[in-house]
Structure 1
Amino acid sequence: MSTNGADLIVDTLIKNGVKYVFQLPGGKLGPLLMALKKREEEIEVVTVRHEQNAGFMAQGIGRITGKPGVVMTTSGPGALNLVTALATATSDGDPVLAIAGQVPQAKLLTPYPQNPNISGVMNDATITKYAKEIEHTDALADEVANAYVASVNGNPGAVFMDIPGNILLAETTKTGLEFSSVVDQLANTISDDATIATAADKIKAAKRPVMIIGARADDEAAAKEIQAFVKKTGIPVVETFQATGLLTREFNQNYVGRVGLFNNLPGDELVYNSDLVITLGLNLVEYWASVWNADNKTIIDIDTVVDHLDETYIPDTLVLGNIAKNLKNITAAMAEQDLTDEWKAVIRTLQEKLMTKKQVPAETAIDALHPLEIVDSLQKTIDAHPDTTVVMDGGSHEVWMGSYLNVYQPKHFLMSDGEQTLGVGLPWAISAALLRPDEKILSSGGDGSFMFSSQELATVAHYQLNIVQVIWVDKEYNMVEFQQELDYDGQEEGVDIDYIGYKEMAESYGIKATRVRSKEALDAALMEAYASTEPMVIEMIEDNRENIHLRDKTELKKY
């Protein structure tokens, strides 16, 4: 059987463990689709309803597995529709490999249909880490290898390959390249003994130490070492929204919640009161240093890369390399650390404050759900079904969930801290459901954000995915609305949206759906959803009057 460039790409993907390709078909993608069809027993093609969503689905694979998700598109608008998804992946630190079919090389510089300079558009460091137009068929396997490695090396992100049609169709004697052993060794180095000892000594000397866990530490190996470190030292922990789930319930006495975004949570106050901050895999886009380090705290940074340096972020000690292994060595160098009674008292005070902020008010609206009622119902459901993967779209609902909902496993709480992109929720839920078919995937979206990718309910229905989609309905782009009201003397404009019957919409796709206005009805709907592996949509009528308080400016108090 003759082998062409498209066959060479697919062979390389398969040899390196790629199981899914997300795509929306187009003429220039034809050679790759035919190559995929030849190998359909080894790699699955997932056809979607919009290329941007295909890019988000690839990002979901990258987020959960740590290895690039793969998306393929046609040229022109097909590839251009990937820009938002790839920029989101790069900002959030998720590996994605995007491949676009392109017009033949002879037509690249002519006024030919669907022929913008895609690689030029993509070749921006805020969108991708690597973007190339490939010029020779025999180089395709090499280029896939280099793009793939670039996507996971350092801070992970998106990469892009633009491949003219004649390059895809030309025959070649090359075979696919297997390079997974190189990928497995990336970030496998550890810091030297002297650096480990310095870090341990500074931690021992601290009176008010705290650890901030970031997205680059969100994996099972790091979770194990974080738990061992906390068990030995008792040092309190806060998480960014994107790094939720690294501690189990056993460590509730050491946990003070989340930090970031509006800098008004008890976790933010804990960092404000600390004298030493251990940043663990912290991507500064999650929690920018100017917010928490105005007083020049001692910083020990344990990470795979050096993040952005400025006047508020110059680590005193940099422990560079494999996060889990370096933290394990620091733990071994530590004696059991007895925190001062003063610091323990601060920790207890802020934990109590966190619990108070999470409590459902005694009086709520009769015909709509208070946000904390929704969080409480979802929390109880997750506690009863701890393997649930929680996926969030952007919006005010995300702040409630990000601030107060707990999960206890890494990679089981997915949200965007970087671009905070609307529309990621349902596509990421689809990725999670493909990877975790035996787990319930709980996808949360507002009525605004959900509509960015609602057409993918068709994909959910086609694959009968084990997803329950909850939709917070308040008929406004409320995350923008309440900030307009705060910033413009109570005025708002351009934020109202018409109500859509989301229940009826879901039913039109053949998906079971219900509409709820009370906590009792929500609890019953969640119980029904979890009793089945079929998809379900729950439309929740929300009382959004409390959302304006999400941005309350808390005067951070010194304890």
Structure 2
Amino acid sequence: MTTNSAASALVETMINYDIKYVFGIPGAKIDKLFEELEYNQSPNKPQLIIARHEQNAAFMAAAVGRLTGKPGVVLVTSGPGVANLATGLVTATSEGDPVIALGGQVQRDDLARLTHQSIPNQELLNPVTKYSVEVQDPDNLSEAFANAYQEALAAKNGAVFISIPQDVIDANVKREVMVKSPLVEQGVPAKDQLKSFVQEIKQAQMPVILAGMRASQQKATRALRTLLHDVALPIVETFQGAGVLSRDLENLFFGRVGLFRNQTGDTLLKQADLVITVGYDPIEYEARNWNKERQSKIIHLDSVVPELTQEYQPELILQGDIGDTLLALREILKGDYALSTSTKEHLLAIKKEFDDKDVPPTTQSNQGLHPLTIVNELQQHVSDQMVVTVDVGSHYIWMARHFRSYEPRHLLFSNGMQTLGVALPWAIAASLLDPKRKVVSVAGDGGFMFSSQELETAVRLHSNLVQLVWVDGYYDMVRFQEQSKYGQEAGVKFGPIDFVKFAESFGARGLRVDEQHDLSTILDEAFAISGPVVVEIPVDYSQNFKLNQNLLTDQFN
């Protein structure tokens, strides 16, 4: 490869920015960059991971972003290659996952012509990204990547896109490549704001923390735990806030909230006279659901300025570095604050009721296993350090409500877009980052088929993962809501698949829970196998009608 090509300059820039993986699918308009990634002689070049669909490649890059806090990179060709990025990028942007997407484009002379694979890349992906640009000069390419990296990590994290015309990536460059610049750090809010915050907490009878997606960033989680060891406040997680509390703070955990307003956490938020949102994003669980009546005060602590609505008008906004702000509050509050005895007694009663909900039924139907039985058994097989990725479907609700996680960003949900098909690509990326540790992917038989072709990728990479498929033959998350709204269902039934044979056709192992093989034994076997394993589990969703019942009386409609 030539050392002064735009392709080599871009790869050198990626090396300077410590990019470890590039996920993608090649094509003629961008193949020069694939050649450079494959044959560049640098030992520090990114590893090229070829996926089976561009959307899944974007999911893999997003998982790297969520798990490491550094942007994952996805690389695709022009036309449909770029178009297929849209769902992956809007998911990453809405859910705060830093991603840099690179897309091929026709040569500049063809941009205004109706030619093969000529589409307006920049304009197409602008609505689903934080930053979208088309590079018109090869000497700007390294700069474009540096700015994209910076923007992907700026609050709120998200996806950025760079469109690269074919004659740009094929050209030579004259400028030196960019070196990595330090990220812009946020500070701590003014002392007067911190003083007001402390006064509000001390005046409240039952303050409650609502921990959102940005509370699960490593620095923020460490600081939140440090604060809670000295200032014991009850905490409710959003789905993406899962794992912010460690095991030794379990007594402060009152569940997760999202989707339907009928959980213990919802009750606590309604009873609170002060809600402290930490790293909360409204796309996770709109304030119109948990704060419609505005009976409590709200303090907003985040790196992002909040979106204000009728239902979300904080009395105090503290914008800055979440971790540093929490530690500053701890210094003020430690040894000088405690909940009242009556509040503690009230919380103990709520906590017992919450914990009792995790107990699975003692009897099972012949249609399949109760969801709580599957969740409980999986809990016994998963260590705190394992990553568990969860697809979207009815199983997602059961997992979000009942599966305990004690490390941030180790229980992954698509909570903003609720995108089907994320779990397997996320698990593949997680296995790349920590190949010695088992990764678990949980999906329904509907969502699994959205990205199941990546089983070949998992086999090729020898991904150390266990894929659970909850089988019932329906898009059940839609089904039970249709039944509750209309008394009937429509468009939710699909045909059967033998997932054991399906897995084996890709070279993976396939296992099935049935009358002869109980769940515990099958999971023991699955977790002992090296490489990808698919476990088919029949599930009985006959109790799902309860998931959106018993809503609090002020539920938004």
Q: Same fold (TM over 0.5)?
A: yes
**Are the aligned partners of 2:508 and 2:534 in contact in 1 as well (CA < 8 Å)?**
yes
Return the offset for 1:352: 1.7
Counterpart of 2:49 (choices 21, 39, 46) is 46
> 2:411 — aligned with what?
413
> 1:379 — aligned with what?
379
> 2:190 — aligned with what?
192
TM-score by length of 1: 0.96
Return the offset for 1:102: 0.7
Return the offset for 1:188: 3.1
> 1:287 — aligned with what?
285
**Are the aligned partners of 1:386 and 1:408 in contact in 2 as well (CA < 8 Å)?**
yes
**Are the aligned partners of 2:260 and 2:551 in contact in 1 as well (CA < 8 Å)?**
no
SS of equivalent to 2:447: helix
Return the offset for 1:66: 1.2
Q: In structure 1, how many angstroms separate the alpha carbons of the residues matched to 2:516 and 2:112? A: 60
> 1:526 — aligned with what?
523
Q: In structure 1, how many angstroms separate the alpha carbons of the residues matched to 2:148 and 2:117? A: 24
> 1:68 — aligned with what?
71
Counterpart of 2:108 (choices 105, 115, 135) is 105
Q: How does 1:261-276 map to 2 (within 5 A)?
A: 261-276=259-274
Return the offset for 1:335: 4.0
**Are the aligned partners of 2:188 and 2:324 in contact in 1 as well (CA < 8 Å)?**
yes
Return the offset for 1:518: 6.2
Return the offset for 1:519: 11
> 2:124 — aligned with what?
121
Q: How does 1:56-95 map to 2 (within 5 A)?
A: 56-95=59-98
**Are the aligned partners of 1:188 and 1:322 in contact in 2 as well (CA < 8 Å)?**
yes
Return the offset for 1:222: 1.7
> 2:163 — aligned with what?
162
> In 2 relative to 1, CA 363–159 (structure 1 residues): closer, same or farther, beyond 3 Å?
same
**Are the aligned partners of 1:272 and 1:556 in contact in 2 as well (CA < 8 Å)?**
no
Return the offset for 1:346: 2.7
1:390 aligns with 2:391: no
Q: How does 1:238-277 map to 2 (within 5 A)?
A: 238-277=236-275
Counterpart of 2:514 (choices 517, 530, 541) is 517
SS of equivalent to 1:123: helix
**Are the aligned partners of 2:284 and 2:416 in contact in 1 as well (CA < 8 Å)?**
yes
**Are the aligned partners of 1:5 and 1:138 in contact in 2 as well (CA < 8 Å)?**
yes
> 1:131 — aligned with what?
132
> 1:480 — aligned with what?
478
Return the offset for 1:180: 4.0
**Are the aligned partners of 2:240 and 2:409 in contact in 1 as well (CA < 8 Å)?**
no
Counterpart of 1:540 (choices 531, 537, 540) is 537
**Are the aligned partners of 1:269 and 1:556 in contact in 2 as well (CA < 8 Å)?**
no
SS of equivalent to 1:162: strand
Q: Which runs of 5+ in 2 are unaligned?
A: none
Return the offset for 1:553: 2.9
Q: How does 1:490-509 map to 2 (within 5 A)?
A: 490-509=487-506
1:307 aligns with 2:310: no
Q: In structure 1, how many angstroms separate the alpha carbons of the residues matched to 2:517 and 2:386? A: 21
Cα shift readout 1:309-338 (whole Å, capped 9, x = no counterpart): 112212222221111110000011114322
Q: In structure 2, how many angstroms separate the alpha carbons of the residues matched to 1:518 and 1:130? A: 53
One-letter identity of the residue aligned with 2:353? K
Cα shift readout 1:334-375 (whole Å, capped 9, x = no counterpart): 143221233223322222222222211122213511101000
**Are the aligned partners of 1:267 and 1:350 in contact in 2 as well (CA < 8 Å)?**
no
Q: In structure 2, how many angstroms separate the alpha carbons of the residues matched to 1:248 and 1:363? A: 32
**Are the aligned partners of 2:511 and 2:526 in contact in 1 as well (CA < 8 Å)?**
no
> 1:219 — aligned with what?
217
Q: In structure 2, how many angstroms separate the alpha carbons of the residues matched to 1:248 and 1:146? A: 36
Q: How does 1:202-213 map to 2 (within 5 A)?
A: 202-213=200-211
**Are the aligned partners of 1:256 and 1:347 in contact in 2 as well (CA < 8 Å)?**
no
SS of equivalent to 2:30: helix
Q: In structure 2, how many angstroms separate the alpha carbons of the residues matched to 1:507 and 1:107? A: 45
One-letter identity of the residue aligned with 1:462? R
TM-score by length of 2: 0.96
Q: Which runs of 5+ in 1 are unaligned?
A: none
SS of equivalent to 1:387: coil
1:320 aligns with 2:323: no
Q: In structure 1, how many angstroms separate the alpha carbons of the residues matched to 2:314 and 2:520? A: 47
> 1:460 — aligned with what?
458
Answer with 142-151 or 439-448: which moved more.
142-151
Alignment root-mean-square deviation, CA: 1.5
Q: In structure 2, how many angstroms separate the alpha carbons of the residues matched to 1:526 and 1:2? A: 51
Q: How does 1:314-393 map to 2 (within 5 A)?
A: 314-336=313-335, 337-366=337-366, 368-382=368-382, 385-393=383-391
> 2:34 — aligned with what?
33
Q: In structure 2, how many angstroms separate the alpha carbons of the residues matched to 1:123 and 1:342? A: 53
SS of equivalent to 1:301: strand
Cα shift readout 1:485-524 (whole Å, capped 9, x = no counterpart): 1111x21111001010011100111111111036972111
SS of equivalent to 2:543: helix
Return the offset for 1:179: 2.3
Cα shift readout 1:418-445 (whole Å, capped 9, x = no counterpart): 0000011100001100011121111000
> In 2 relative to 1, CA 166–62 (structure 1 residues): closer, same or farther, beyond 3 Å?
same
One-letter identity of the residue aligned with 2:31? G
SS of equivalent to 1:21: strand
